[in-house]
Chain A
């Protein structure tokens, strides 16, 4: 190879090396990991973190680690000078700093001793000391891989600080009880069975402007007439918009769910026109079906832990009993939410 070709080869090699991302090359190098500065963190934690970091780097390369003495370094020139003093080619300095009562910031900087240039800078936050071992592992991987700690996350080294619980706004919730009456509309609910009693047990969840209420209820007639009666058991979920945040707050809404409804109604079957035969057996029928309701009312004592509601709702169940379709009712009640 002539002189010109050799020069070209050296130039190309240099160019390629220069384009490559800077990495803290560790093979056959001498490393110095200076003492880790601690601010608001126990000093032994810094020592332990240094040892883990050095061990993790050592596990990933064949570098030789020089003994570190003296106080921690806080800047590049310090690390560079310490490295030169012990003949190291790469020097590392860092700090563990408490931020408030629940956060520790870990920072590590890797310096090329001969040139004084920064090869890598890493930072991670943790919310507990026990996660610093994961930090050391992630930093060692990032330093030697020429990346950052965010790219080194994998199963087993995720810190608690990286999985914060979702922040949610709180609402007020509790048991609800409602007592009232039911007034059938139209020909449903046993025909002539009349008004009845309403009982609801619910779970009331309330925010500033909305409320959700899953409920289980009972409605039944109170008449002593054995030929006309009804019973209904709704299992519904309701949602309401509360129009005010004061102690007197109107609300509107509605809901839907499934119901079991049964009725007995007087017989009305007749045969014959000359010699009539009229049934005297009450007619019984029952079914499960889908139903829906719309409600309006107001909340009292809304700013207190125990609230009272007064409300009226229109209710319809989509079944046919004794050939009478879709029994409907107006329900009214007073409720207490604990």
Chain B
């Protein structure tokens, strides 16, 4: 989904030509053919700043029945994030937060982030995979485990300020 390869480019061009020849029959926008795909290797997005994570998801497999079901994600506290590395593609917390760790990778407009939070003697692990939007935020899906035996998945938005 992330790679824009020659075969796909050829298909896109062909579709565009077909739309033009057919004189305006309804065509899907180009982006809709592939969904929210991110672009690799086209420069690294600048995402330094304050991040606020929000979204929604579902928990299942929890021993505590009250935890199973849908939930609202965040909004988190504001997390100060910096980019580093040779290609400015590594993401870390600029300001440490007690009991919380965040790190990630940026590749073009693709973002992968992992968080680990200590919670009541256990660990909440989350992996966020998303794309940088034209507005400079990050949107995508997340999954993970915890607390305890819970397994989660959902969608998220990270506001970058």
- Which of A272, A273, A274, A279 touches B66 (beta carbons < 8 Å)? A279
- Size bracket, chain A contacts: 10 to 19
B74 CB to closest chain A CB (Å) equals 6
At the interface, yes or no: A13 with Cβ under 8 Å from chain B? no
Complex interface: chain A residues within 8 A of B57 (CB): 277
* Pairwise interchain contact A272-B119, C-beta atoms closer than 8 A: yes
Complex interface: chain B residues within 8 A of A276 (CB): 73-76
Number of A-B contacts (CB under 8 A): 61
Q: Chain B CB within 10 Å — which of A267, A274, A277 has the most?
A: A277
A85 CA / B119 CA spacing, docked (Å): 121
Instruction: Tell me the interface secondary structure of chain B in the complex.
Output: strand
* Pairwise interchain contact B97-A274, C-beta atoms closer than 8 A: yes
B106 CB to closest chain A CB (Å) equals 19
The 0/1 profile, CB within 8 Å of B marked 1, for residues 267-308 of chain A is 101011111111111010000000000000000000000000
Question: Known interface pairs A277-B57, A277-B73. Does A272 touch B68 (Cβ–Cβ under 8 Å)?
Answer: no
A280 CA / B72 CA spacing, docked (Å): 7
Q: What are 9 of the A-B contact pairs (CB < 8 Å)? A: A271-B119, A273-B119, A274-B97, A274-B99, A275-B74, A276-B73, A277-B59, A279-B59, A281-B71
Complex interface: chain A residues within 8 A of B56 (CB): 280
* Pairwise interchain contact B67-A274, C-beta atoms closer than 8 A: no
Question: Known interface pairs A272-B119, A272-B124, A273-B119. Does A279 touch B70 (Cβ–Cβ under 8 Å)?
Answer: yes
Residues in chain B within 8 A of chain A (CB atoms): 53, 56-57, 59, 66-77, 79, 97, 99-100, 115, 117, 119, 124, 126, 147, 152
A272 CA / B59 CA spacing, docked (Å): 14
A280 CA / B69 CA spacing, docked (Å): 8
Residue of B with least CB distance to A323: B66
Residue of A with least CB distance to B56: A280
B100 CB to closest chain A CB (Å) equals 4
Residue of B with least CB distance to A269: B66
* Pairwise interchain contact A272-B117, C-beta atoms closer than 8 A: yes
* Pairwise interchain contact A274-B117, C-beta atoms closer than 8 A: yes
B102 CB to closest chain A CB (Å) equals 9
Residue of A with least CB distance to B120: A271
B97 CB to closest chain A CB (Å) equals 6
A41 CA / B76 CA spacing, docked (Å): 105
* Pairwise interchain contact B76-A271, C-beta atoms closer than 8 A: no
A267 CA / B70 CA spacing, docked (Å): 10
Complex interface: chain A residues within 8 A of B152 (CB): 277
Q: Chain A CB within 10 Å — which of B56, B66, B73, B74 has the most?
A: B66
Complex interface: chain B residues within 8 A of A274 (CB): 76-77, 79, 97, 99-100, 115, 117
Residue of B with least CB distance to A278: B72
* Pairwise interchain contact A271-B66, C-beta atoms closer than 8 A: no
A279 CB to closest chain B CB (Å) equals 5
A269 CA / B68 CA spacing, docked (Å): 10
A253 CB to closest chain B CB (Å) equals 40
